Amino acid sequence: MMKAIIILSFVAQVFAAAVSREPDSGDDTSTRPFPLPNLPPAQAEGPDPDKVYIVGLTHGGTGCPSNSVSHILSDDRTVMTLIFDEYVTSIGPDVPITDSRKNCQLNINLRYPGGFQYSIFSADYRGYARLDKGVKGVQKSTYYFSGQTKQASTMTEWNGPMDKDYLLHDETDHTSIVWSPCGTNGALNINSQIRLSSSNRNARGVLTTDSIDASFRQIVHVRWQKCKQV
């Protein structure tokens, strides 16, 4: 079975610790974890990495229904890898229309020292797209914090015909960066979706990856800053 992977990196620091597996219910224990990503050096304004860690995760959606997501936490609990069993889209004359679009809502509770706030500033995507002429693929992620209305998004589009691997880096516009609230540990929400559409009813398409144990991979980077005194 193809699987999808999202790697969330919450500290602007290079992490080289080994990972420990914490499977959710129904997890396929044969899945091998991806290597941890190479992240940019720690920023001077960032908090002590030893005091930043993930304390909770909830998820739901057609791309990540119940019992379809497992996770791997690094030993320092600052890098989380999410592995999805059902985050794959396809389109074609004999494919149900519901298979052409999948979404996943993630809620991540991050614990970090007071006096700091963080934001999402870029995302990396790696995968595979096989699209006939007339087929269009879209990957979009929206980031926001609980209790806030401002959002930031990244989006990439592919147009067929194409049949190749992709490796993309998206950065949010600096004017739309959203920051976690000061004075409290704001929960980060990530609403992601992958979808296919076609102007040719006989055309086919798949948006996935070419590896055995992944069909979608996302690396999210964050930026830290000190809260301003008021």
- What contacts 189, CB < 8 A, 6 or more positions away? 105, 106, 107, 108, 143, 144, 145, 146
- What contacts 46, CB < 8 A, 6 or more positions away? 11, 12, 13, 116, 224
| Per-residue model confidence (pLDDT) at position 75 | 59
- The helix/strand count (H/E) of the chain reads as 0, 14
**Which residues in the chain show pLDDT less than 50?**
1-2, 10-43, 209-219
What's the rounded Cα separation, in Å, for the pair 52 and 37? 17
CB 7 within 8 A of CB 219: yes
Which tokens sit at 96? 């149900």
Q: Where are the domains of the chain?
A: 4-226
| Per-residue model confidence (pLDDT) at position 203 | 96
What's the rounded Cα separation, in Å, for the pair 6 and 219? 6
Q: Tell me the per-residue pLDDT of 158-213, one tens digit each, with 9 for 90 and over.
A: 999 999 888 777 776 655 667 788 777 778 888 989 999 999 989 999 986 332 22
Question: Which amino acid does the sequence have at 200?
Answer: N
What is this structure's pTM? 0.69
Strand arrangement, sheet containing 135-145 = 53-60, 101-111, 188-198, 135-145, 152-159
What's the rounded Cα separation, in Å, for the pair 62 and 36? 27
What's the rounded Cα separation, in Å, for the pair 217 and 69? 13
pLDDT over 70, % of the chain: 61
| Per-residue model confidence (pLDDT) at position 20 | 32
Question: Which amino acid does the sequence have at 69?
Answer: V
| Per-residue model confidence (pLDDT) at position 76 | 54
What's the rounded Cα separation, in Å, for the pair 172 and 223? 12
| Per-residue model confidence (pLDDT) at position 115 | 80
Which tokens sit at 21? 């597996």
